[in-house]
């Protein structure tokens, strides 16, 4: 019976300690990252391209992305909370799928670009 008397308080203490670590949010420190704002306009045959996904991907496969609006304008997002892109060499991909959703309507353009901050310009 004495063992049972100790088990309940120990169980309650364990639950309290475990719950103390739950529910907290992790705040990211973006000031330590070398993020730059990147935005632009995508056109196709001189017309704004709406709904295209623009991806700037680094050689280590990290990336920032954005989606063009009705005027073809995009701004890159580092993640769901923070805008920007890490400096350095990037492969730029623009992906657009037409309303028909057929493979024939899919167009992808790729190129490599180095950001001015990384190249010293």
Q: By the 8 A CB rule, do 20 and 12 touch? A: no
Q: Can you give the residue ranges of every domain in the chain?
A: 32-119
Model confidence at 119, in pLDDT bands (50, 70, 90)?
A: very low
From start to end of the chain, where are the E strands?
A: 35-36, 39-41, 43-44, 47-48, 53-57, 63-67, 73-75, 85-86, 89-97, 106-114
Q: pLDDT tens across 23-63, in order?
A: 556 677 888 888 999 999 999 999 999 999 999 999 999 99
Measure the CA–CA gap between 43 and 34, rounded to whole angstroms.
29
Which of 2.60.40.10, 2.40.128.630, 2.30.300.10, 3.55.50.30 would CATH assign to domain 32-119?
2.60.40.10
pLDDT at residue 83, as a whole number: 95
């Amino acid at each position: 019976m004495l063992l049972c008397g100790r088990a309940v308080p120990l169980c309650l203490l364990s639950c309290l300690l475990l719950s103390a670590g739950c529910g907290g949010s992790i705040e990211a420190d973006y000031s330590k990252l070398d993020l730059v704002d990147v935005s632009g306009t995508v056109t196709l045959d001189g017309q704004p391209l709406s709904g295209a996904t623009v991806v700037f991907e680094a050689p280590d496969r990290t990336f920032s992305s954005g989606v063009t609006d009705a005027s073809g304008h995009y701004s890159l997002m580092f993640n769901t909370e923070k805008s920007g892109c890490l400096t350095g060499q990037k492969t730029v991909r623009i992906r657009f799928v037409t309303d028909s959703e057929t493979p024939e309507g899919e167009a992808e353009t790729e190129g490599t670009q180095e950001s001015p901050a990384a190249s010293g310009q």
